[in-house]
Amino acid sequence: MLRGIIFDVDETLVYYEGYSLRKWYESIALPAMKELEIVVDWETFRKMAKGELPRSYVEKFGIDHVEFWKALDRANREYRERLLREGKIKTFPDVGVLKDLKAMEIKLAAVSNASQDNTELVLEAFGLKDYFDVILGKDYAYLDGVKPNPYLVKKALRLMNIGPEEALVVGDSELDVKAGHAAGVRVVQVIREKKVEGADYYVRNLWELLELVKDLKTRDP
């Protein structure tokens, strides 16, 4: 029986005009790193951000990895606040589906690799925060637990008190697919840009997700 859905946030529920990880690295991450008097090259940073290297890898450069990521998260907070003021963070037009899912008494979680603070900032800015029973950003006590690690997905399941077979993970990226499957959860990819291999279900938007959820609940009430 489907009892809960775990949503990714960035590029699944909201998007950032003109955003790319490379641009973010150059304009936000590099200045923050220079203040720490350490610079991690682009390729190494990309691998850490994509889960190809652990977040703790940065300690090879002689800095505590928790302090490193906290500094970048502070810079990211300023960046997100500025984009919100400029109207450059937007919700996808289908996020109204969250209201329909709540009406179906499905528990909802938001799980992001961004910090807790930055995740809640964006959700609250668009009135989405109250839809979620659980909101989880990266855990500074275990920074290597970000997606594709299943740690945050498993934590969301525990907090919602549901089993992996009772849930779906909904996201746009390979990180979501890997994290969901590693936690034993079926994954729905919302194809916002390109299709990612390995998901259990594919939808073009959240309205299609709603129809999928209705179908799954009918088949397994």
Interval 147-190: pLDDT, tens: 999 999 999 999 999 999 999 999 999 999 999 999 999 999 99
Question: Is residue 221 pLDDT above 70, yes or no?
Answer: no
- Name the pTM for this structure: 0.96
Domain boundaries, the chain: 4-15+90-219, 21-85
pLDDT score recorded for residue 217? 87
SS (H, E, C) the chain: CCCEEEECCECCCEEECCCCHHHHHHHHHHHHHHHCCCCCCHHHHHHHHCCCCCHHHHHHHCCCHHHHHHHHHHHHHHHHHHHHHCCCEEECCCCCHHHHHHHCCCEEEEEEEEEHHHHHHHHHHCCCHHHCCEEEEECCCCHHHCCCCCHHHHHHHHHHCCCHHHEEEEECCHHHHHHHHHCCCEEEEECCCCCCCCCCEEECCHHHHHHHHHHHHHHCC
CATH number of the domain at 4-15+90-219, out of 3.40.50.1000, 1.10.260.40, 3.40.50.2020, 3.40.50.1220?
A: 3.40.50.1000
